[in-house]
Amino acid sequence: MKLFKRSSSFLDIWMTVFVISAAFFAISFFTVARYERENSQEIISPKLILSLKAGHAETCQIAIRNQIQSQGLKLSEDEIERQCQCVGDAYFNSLSQKEYDEMMKTANLPQRVLTRREDIQLECFVRSLTE
């Protein structure tokens, strides 16, 4: 009989430890999952990226055509398309969900893009002429 009580007691202790461990694991898991969801740097879907880049390409090409016409420059349609594609890639390829949400609220590009906007445009202009 004593052996049975010891086993029962051991089983009770083991179950208690198991339940406490499982509870700590669950709390930790859900806390981390919530933090990651709130601070997500997850890239938006490829379909949404393509949509943003397509919309950007249209307005970009119109703006570039107007700029080169007013400045008397000559760029081919291919060069204009390459420049706008390059800029769109730089703006949107690594856009996180958090940045996208902020962009939809403010109607502005994300801060990391705004701080480099002129550099991106110049790099893409040069690239469009050399490719």
For residues 96-108, average pLDDT: 94
For residues 5-15, average pLDDT: 50
Q: Are residues 3 and 32 in the same domain?
A: yes
For residues 115-127, average pLDDT: 94
> Has residue 31 got a pLDDT over 70?
no
> Has residue 58 got a pLDDT over 90?
yes
For residues 42-70, average pLDDT: 92
Range of the domain at 18: 1-39
Q: Are residues 69 and 88 in the same domain?
A: yes
User: 128 and 83 in contact (C-beta within 8 Å)?
Assistant: yes
Question: 104 burial class (0-12, 13-18, 19+ CB within 10 angstroms)?
Answer: exposed
Please tell me the total count of domains within the chain.
2
pTM over 0.75: no
For residues 49-70, average pLDDT: 93
Q: Are residues 91 and 72 in the same domain?
A: yes
Distance CA(122)–CA(119), nearest Å, equals 5
pLDDT score, position 131: 78
Q: Are residues 67 and 101 in the same domain?
A: yes
Q: Categorize the per-residue pLDDT at 9 as very low, low, confident or very high, splitting at 50, 70 and 90.
A: low
| pLDDT, mean over the chain | 80
Q: Are residues 27 and 62 in the same domain?
A: no
Q: Are residues 18 and 74 in the same domain?
A: no
For residues 47-67, average pLDDT: 94
> Has residue 130 got a pLDDT over 80?
yes
Q: Are residues 50 and 102 in the same domain?
A: yes
Q: Are residues 56 and 76 in the same domain?
A: yes
Q: Are residues 34 and 52 in the same domain?
A: no
Q: What is the DSSP letter of 72?
A: T
> Has residue 1 got a pLDDT over 50?
no
Q: Are residues 22 and 54 in the same domain?
A: no
- Say whether 79 sits in a helix, a strand or coil: helix
Q: Are residues 9 and 34 in the same domain?
A: yes
For residues 34-49, average pLDDT: 73
